[in-house]
Amino acid sequence: MQAIISQIMTEHMNVTFIERIKSGQKLLGMVATLPCPELIEGLVKCGFDWLWIDMEHAPLSLRETQQMLQATHGRAHGLVRVPACDPVWIKQVLDLGADA
């Protein structure tokens, strides 16, 4: 059973977040504001398709955001709201591996 779930998750992650939205899939997600990679791992194991990491309303550093994105292990899309509409912030967060 675990192998089947892993295969399904891998197949979904080969498709971008935008492609999944455009295809009309219903995706389940959650906002994360606590700098806790273990929490992110737990949420991913619960089956969330995406996690919205909110740097604007939470005091998250780039390092904490990176750890949170890494905690998804590629099994959930990581979306990040940057603290300011600044190309530098956007580029840094995308370089960390955020999907959007």
Catalytic sites, residue numbers: 57
Q: Indicate the DSSP class of residue 76.
A: S
Q: If you ran DSSP here, which 8-state letter would residue 35 be given?
A: -
